[in-house]
Structure 1
Amino acid sequence: MMASTHIDQAETADLATVSDWRYYDPAYTLPDLLDAALELFVTCGYYGTSVRAIATKAGMTVPGLYYNFKTKQDILVALLRMSNEDLRRRGQAALADAGEDPRDRFIALVENTVLYMTNRRRMAHLTREIRGLEEPYRSQHVALRDEFEAMMLTEVISGRAVGKFGTDDPHEATRAVLVLCQGVADWYRTGGTKTPQDIADRYVNFALALVGDKGP
């Protein structure tokens, strides 16, 4: 990928050390090219979006687009990498903030996931387009996804071991929790009566029920 300086900066601007994993900068925006591609991938699908459509929506020429990215595939890879890395870093910060108790750590990961699904809804929707990824990018994306699932599974297993969770199948319970949380991106819209934090708090209770929570 031939990315110009402003694209490189955009890919790292929101991925600095996360001091407050709950905070999402309301002023944060993607460069026009990436924003246009993201909007089209979400609304039209990866295969339904042409390079020319991205360039037109971004207000640039096709050669200008190719100056930044060699292919449409490279744009999808860049966006998914940004999404995965943002969620992973916030998850790590949430765990560090939660301390050593597996129940608290599980709660932090659930809260983090739901906050991401509401504050980065378009990015969350983009995961549907992994079918458009070619190798080795697809395998890399799946590995990152599995890494995040493993973070939560570790806490469910640990919570069960110390008697805080009663689930008899930590793997299935973890998958159910992730599906529950990720589904928020399908229906959430800004401007509703519930804030992202309200929804996250509510979904923590749902998630605790799924793992058979026995209390603090």
Structure 2
Amino acid sequence: MAGRETGVAVSDWRTYTHDRTLPDVLDAALDVFVRYGYHGTTVRAIATKAGLSVPGLYHHYRSKQEILATLLRTSNEDVMARSRAALADAGDDPRERFTALVENIVLYMTHRRRLAHAAREIHALDEPYRSQHVALRDELEQMVLREVEAAHACGHFSSPDPHEATRAVLVLCQGVADWYTPGGPKRPEEIAAQYVGFALAIVGDRRADAER
């Protein structure tokens, strides 16, 4: 079995190397999935992209399902490791913890946009892969929700519905992968800072209101 990306240290959550960090087979599969979609991709197309025969590909992975599931698990594990590092870096203030999570997610959507696109193929997963992926996806939502609820309880945020506000924030951040292009007019760090402002507006940040 090909290896997966390792987790990141606390000091590294804002730092990304190039976008080609996956093992060769997974990187080739990711390119093909992003271009043609899961159902439009054949095992032979992945093997050709990876420079392997079909039997050679099966030496690494048992099926196209396992390849997709491995990609989605890799993506979730990476973003969750970075999210935990961002929280550790942010301290105890729920507002700061929320903004760190938003910044982290947007940075991930820019630097790992291919994996972000592949994550939308969840509908193609069979069980038990689908349930495993949903559980990991929901873990990130709960991580953000906890900080929104804590900030609401402290009086920092005024949104009447923290749960729906959290969903709106996540949809907003995840959408960055749809339009971001490397080398565009804004760097990932600039986009992340701007989206932190958007996210704070969604949750009804009282500090931002007071500063206006």
Matched, 1:138 2:138: no
Q: Where do residues 188-203 of structure 1 align in structure 2 (5 Å cutoff)?
A: 188-203=180-195
Partner of 2:95: 103
Which of 167, 186, 189 is the equivalent residue of 2:159?
167
Measured after TM superposition, the shift of residue 169 of structure 1 is: 0.1
Matched, 1:25 2:25: no
Matched, 1:114 2:106: yes
**4+ residue runs of structure 1 moved beyond 6 angstroms?**
none
Measured after TM superposition, the shift of residue 106 of structure 1 is: 0.3
Name the SS for the 1:166 alignment partner: coil
Superposed CA offset, 1:63-120 (max 9, x none):
1100000111110111101000000000000000000000000000000000000000
* Cα distance in 2 between the residues matched to 1:38 and 1:61: 17
Partner of 1:126: 118
Measured after TM superposition, the shift of residue 17 of structure 1 is: 3.5
Change (3 A) 1:127 1:147: same
Measured after TM superposition, the shift of residue 18 of structure 1 is: 4.5
Which of 40, 44, 48 is the equivalent residue of 1:52?
44
Measured after TM superposition, the shift of residue 49 of structure 1 is: 0.3
Which of 75, 78, 102 is the equivalent residue of 1:83?
75
* Cα distance in 2 between the residues matched to 1:105 and 1:28: 29
Matched, 1:39 2:34: no
Q: When the two structures are aligned, how many residues end up with a matched partner?
A: 208
Ranges in structure 1 where 5+ consecutive residues have no aligned partner: none
Partner of 1:187: 179
One-letter identity of the residue aligned with 1:123: L
Change (3 A) 1:63 1:18: farther
Measured after TM superposition, the shift of residue 20 of structure 1 is: 1.5
Ranges in structure 2 where 5+ consecutive residues have no aligned partner: none
* Cα distance in 2 between the residues matched to 1:135 and 1:191: 39
User: What root-mean-square deviation, in Å, do the aligned CA atoms of Structure 1 and Structure 2 show?
Assistant: 1.2
One-letter identity of the residue aligned with 2:205: D
TM-score (norm: length of structure 2): 0.95
Identity %: 64
Say whether the 8 Å CA contact 2:107–2:192 is kept in structure 1: yes
* Cα distance in 1 between the residues matched to 2:18 and 2:45: 27
Partner of 1:149: 141
* Cα distance in 2 between the residues matched to 1:31 and 1:198: 30
Partner of 2:198: 206
* Cα distance in 1 between the residues matched to 2:19 and 2:147: 33
Measured after TM superposition, the shift of residue 30 of structure 1 is: 2.0
